[in-house]
Structure formats: structure tokens, C-alpha cells
Amino acid sequence: MEYIKEIFKYLKRTSPAQNEFYQAAEEILISLKPLIEKYPQYKKHKIIERIVEPERQILFRVNWLDDNGEIQVNKGFRIEFNSALGPYKGGLRFHPSVNAGVIKFLGFEQIFKNALTGLQIGGGKGGSDFDPKGKSDNEIMRFCQAFMSELFRHIGASTDVPAGDIGVGAREIGYMFGMYKKLTNKYEGVLTGKSLNWGGSLARKEATGYGCVYFAKYMLADCGETLKDKKCLVSGSGNVAIYTIEKLYHLGALPITCSDSRGMILDEEGIDLDLLKELKENKRLSLSEYTKFKPSAKYTPIAEYEKGRNNVWSTPCYAAFPCATQNELNIKDAKKLLENGCKCVCEGANMPSTPDAVDLFVERKIAYGPGKAANAGGVSVSQLEMAQNASMLKWTFEEVDTKLDGIMENIFQTASTTAKEFNEPSNLVLGANIAGFRKVADAMIEQGLV
């Protein structure tokens, strides 16, 4: 479609060397072709040209002192992408891989993910190339305070409400909230993922992983299947992966893998969830320690992975849950999964499958849940945390979890109904992209040229 191609040319000229952003934009915009052809008002109002440009891009320097008294310098980012549906909402990521292209891809995806939830939140993302690994608590505190000393100018409870992401958990949120409160003299729900002691929501920690499994449950129910007694592969060992594994157990499935930046665990008896939480949540250790406590499991370091492959996806399974990071599952991995009988892939991470892997899943008509739909549980419960803060109420774990389950069912039904509307009933990529885009686009048209 020539119209879309011209927009890609524009993006590559005006946002050079942002490959992750190009990938995210291409995946979404190409699938909009049937919508644009059927409803020309979106082209008339130049919605695509407007939606690919962030409303605001904030880039700043972060100076902080390490434990040796040495000055360290990092880059800070906040991309406030689209506020048509509500305040900007999206996480902060602290990781060495963070750059403008990564943050823009995450922020762009967040627009449509948030729209799919049915909640009143816009899309944004932020972070820094700061690496929390190997840093002391005091160094992390000083960095978070320095980061917030600039970010505070741009956020607020009804303006932009960041959350956590990779490298940013309750500890980091706490340090940033403390500095925000000191600088503004306001005690408000400006960050989500807060401690339960001071405004956090029950089930927030579990939300992305739980939501991903709920989405898989509804995808499979639509095919007359369940996860009960099925072998499942999970990548990652952070927050999303841990609580994906936990919810899989709740539904009677058998998760047998997890991974980190150094290697993977294969435990045919089922991942020992208590041991995984102890290693990763409490002690922050490598998964290589797992086999010391569970000798029957197998640890494979990354150095021994097959070249050009992620070995997590090599074991026969019924369902796979990529929960680590972007582009972790490529075409070779996808072919291996299908060869080994995988019937369902549900994404807990943001854009974890490469475009050719996604195309293969869609072509084979397996139950494939794209990240912008399947991993929307985290931002959904973040918004529920905002609602609790605004009303000064606190809901029970069961209340929040029940609302999360309902939101994920609604996201599946919305994506599925939209896919059927455009005559591709098994293509939830198309369904999710069109449904999310259409909601934001209609709001932009109604709010005028702003």
C-alpha cells in the first residue's frame, strides 16, 4: 500500500537508526490496510501521520554519585506518545539496551495496548540506560532520585503516570516516589507499582503474568481446549515470567522452563516456583544456582545455545510463553516450536517474536496472542491502582484479580470480534491492531486537530 510506504520513508528520514520503532510501526500499520480502505476518514484526517509522532519527547541527563564518590552520567527518556484516551501511561525501563528507538517502540505499542484494555489511559514509555545489576541499594537510590529530579517536571496524577518495567520494581518506584513527593509537596498517585504500605494495589506484581495466562485461557477456550495437564515453555525469570508460571500452575498446566541473561533451566518435573522466587526475587542470583537445589533439572548456559537460536524453544510443548524481552523468538525458534507440536504462543513480553516468526504463527493459524493484547494485564492493574488512589480505597486481591480476568477476556473478545469483522477470524494480530487503532483514532478525530 503506497500510502503506508510513504509514511515509513518519512519515519526513517526523521527518526534515523530506530530499528525497534520501525519494526513496531510496520507490524501495526501494515495490518491497518483493510481498515483504511474501508473507512477513508482515517486517511482524510491523517491519523496515521499524527499517531506515529509522539506528542512529546523528553530526553535528559542524569548525574549521580556511585559508592566510590565518582560521578556517573546516564541518559533519561520519557516519550509521551498519545493522550487521546487519558493520561500517558507506561513503564520506566532501566537497562543498558535502552535508547530512543527502544523507548519509542515501547511507547508506540503502549498506545494500542492501553486502548485495548477499555480503560481511560493514553500511551507513553520511559527509562534510562542505567544498569541496576551489580549496584548497591544506595547507588540505586541515588540514581532514582537524580532521575526523578528531572522527570518530576513532566508527570502528574492526571498528566502522565509512569510504572515499572525491566529493572524497575517496587524498590525503584519507592525511591522515585519519595523524591517526587519531596520536590512537589504532593502525595498523589503519580507512579504505579507502589508498595502496599503506601498506595500500591494488591495483584499488581502478578498482573502481567496472570493476565498473559488468562488471555491464553480465553484463546484456547474459543478452540475448545484448555491448559490443564499441558506442558508449557516460559522464557525469562523476572516478574512477568514468575507469575506466568504461577498462574499456569493454578490452571493445572506444567511449566518446565525459565531463563535469564546467562542461560536456561529445563525442569521436566515442573519449575520449582518457590525456589525460583527465592533465587530471583529475594537473592537476585543467576539461574545457574537452581541445579544446586534441584539436581534433576538441567541448566544450559547461553554459550551452549545452538547458533542463532534461543534454546528455551527447543523442548516439545503444547504452549509457549515468551516473557523475557523483544525479538527473543526468531523464525528458527518458531519453526522448531511448530515442529515439536506447539499449539499456542502467548506473549508476556513486548514484541518478543520477530516479524517473520509472527507471520509463521498467523499463517499456521495456531492460537497466537500478540503482546499488545496478551500482556496488557500489567497496565490494566496499574490503572486499577490509579482508581484506588483517586478514591482513597483499597480493594482485596480477589477483587483486583477478578477485574483483571474480566479485562483480559474483554481484550480477547474485542480482538477476536474485530478479526472476524475483517474476515480473518484466527488473526488476533490484525484484530488487536485494528481494534486498538480505531479506538484511539476515533478519539483523535472527535477532539479536533490538536
Largest CA distance in the chain: 63
Phi-psi region of 85 (alpha: psi -120 to 50; beta: other; left: phi over 0): alpha
At 100 the three-state DSSP class reads: helix
75 phi and psi, to 5 degrees? Answer: -100, 140
Q: Which of 89, 125, 230, 372 is catalytic?
A: 125
* Contact criterion met (CB below 8 Å) for 412 and 373: yes
Q: How far apart are alpha carbons 163 and 196 in whole angstroms?
A: 15
Name the helix (H) or strand (E) containing 435: helix 428-446
Angle between helical axes of 137-151 and 170-184 (0-180°, round to 10): 50
Query: What per-residue string of b and e applies to 254-279 under the rule 16 or more CB within 10 Å gives b?
Result: bbbbbbbeebbbbbeebbbbebbbeb
DSSP state of 143: H
Q: Is 292 a catalytic residue?
A: no
Distance CA 366, CA 334 (A): 11
User: Could you give the count of Cα atoms lying within 13 Å of 68 in the half-sphere of its Cβ?
Assistant: 4
Residues involved in catalysis? 125
